[in-house]
Structure 1
């Protein structure tokens, strides 16, 4: 419960800072470090027992069905003999390359695929011992991901359009440099929120064990 509060408060604060241009994540690595700093500031405030510790781990490796996964951020919560991990996967889809205002990034089809790949991985993390929930957090200033009606045979399968409903089961379509097959256990919608020039989305996946 504490990890949930920390993560959701940190995401709220982070998204507001990005939307108001107090923070400028140019890529996923920068996003990871900026969000981790907020998490590391909040975590000690929630340690209220003498036998309690809450740590923020970056690039944490685990074994899942697809092999070794490197999790962007993990919240490790110890309370006495009890241990819980909550994972966070991130995506940062910027419209323009670096500081350019004219050179647009491409490969949105790969970005959308990778979003759902994160969801698949988050579900797998929740099957691991002591892993109780997982979050996928994404930001973008590229409306293609959010409001464009994706019609191509590839992008329609991996679409992240805000109006898409009931995303579940097998997502399969050949795509360059990816396996082209994802299997989702849960059922998902895409509750994007617009703040300033950005869109933000949070997905929470709970353990079934």
Structure 2
């Protein structure tokens, strides 16, 4: 039995909760790719093997994704560990409610965020879907806004995982992003995407430290 905790803004406010852990995905972690966050290949997104799937109670409908957690190492939540109601939660149904459980990648090791927060823009001219990744600090994104060079700030809606959407036409405008995390910290990355950005591109912004 291990102890896990979300990494808080201040080390002085640490609170430890009892939780449990298993591992999945094999020794090379190939089985942990994709998942419920929408990151796809976790190596290309910078998370590598330092990841875990959360049980339902910790997953919180996707609100806890990309939040860093600390046990004897730091791991980032990038997936959902689905419940198995046919088995008891202490013998096979590890991720059943109300159990707080982490299904970790087998080779998980301590990690640190490198570089800026990343914004991957997908969609079409009438629908923007932005994947927010590599978030430092508490990592728990609670709000995202986007601003074109010809618009004001537009609040985005969580689509799934860490994909945030809006239906404003933004093609041909430079884009700025504002990200708020669960601890109330807010950071703004101005003119992250240039006027000629294309769907499928990823841009780097400011970072929480």
Please, what TM-score do these two structures have when normalized by structure 2? 0.29
Please, what TM-score do these two structures have when normalized by structure 1? 0.29
Please identify which structure carries the higher helix content. Answer: 1
Tell which has more relative contact order, 1 or 2 (C-alpha 8 A, sep 6+): 2
